[in-house]
Chain A
Amino acid sequence: MFKPLDPLLHSELRLAVISILISVEEADFVFLRNKTKATAGNLSVQLDKLQQAGYIVIAKGFNGKMPRTTCRITDAGREAFRLYVEALRSYIDPS
Chain B
Amino acid sequence: MNDKRPNPHESLALITEMISSTRQHVTQQAHIPFLIWGYTTIVVTLAVWYGYKTTSQEAWFWLWYAIPVVGWLGMFATRNKRHADGYVRTPIDRAISHIWVVLAVVALVVTIASFIRPLPILMMIIMFMGSGAAISGLIIRMHLFTIAGFVGILLSLLFLFVQGIDQCLIFAAIFLVMMVIPGHIIQYQQSKVSCNV
Q: Which residues of A are interface residues toward B (Cβ below 8 A)?
A: 10-16, 19-20, 22-38, 42, 46, 63-64, 68, 70, 84-85, 88, 91-92
Contact = CB atoms under 8 A, between A and B. Distances in A.
> How would you classify the secondary structure of chain B's contact residues: helix, strand, loop or mixed?
helix
In terms of DSSP, what is the predominant structure of the interface of chain A?
helix
A19 B5 contact: no
Contacts of A33: 86
21 contacts: A10-B5, A12-B1, A12-B5, A12-B14, A13-B2, A15-B14, A20-B18, A20-B22, A23-B18, A23-B90, A24-B91, A27-B87, A28-B86, A28-B88, A30-B86, A31-B25, A31-B86, A35-B22, A63-B79, A64-B79, A88-B12
Pick the most buried of B85, B86, B91, B93: most chain A CB atoms within 10 A of its CB.
B86
Interface centre among B1, B12, B14, B93, by most A CB within 10 Å?
A: B1
Contacts of B87: 26-28, 30-31, 63, 68, 70
Contacts, number: 104
Given A23-B23, A24-B90, A28-B87, A16 B2 contact: no
Interface of B: 1-6, 8-12, 14-15, 18-19, 21-23, 25, 79-80, 83, 85-91, 93-94
A34 B86 contact: yes
A84 B3 CA distance: 17
A87 to B, nearest CB: 9
B9 A92 contact: yes
A32 B86 contact: yes
A25 B89 contact: yes
A9 B5 CA distance: 9
A42 B7 CA distance: 21
B22 A23 contact: yes
Nearest to B23: A23
A15 B14 CA distance: 8
A26 B3 CA distance: 23
A24 B88 contact: yes
A14 B1 CA distance: 10
Nearest to B11: A88
Nearest to A92: B8
A90 to B, nearest CB: 9
A46 B4 CA distance: 12
Nearest to A7: B5
A92 B93 CA distance: 34
Nearest to B91: A25
Given A26-B89, A31-B86, A68-B87, A19 B14 contact: yes
A35 B25 CA distance: 10
B1 A29 contact: no
A22 B4 CA distance: 21
Nearest to B83: A63
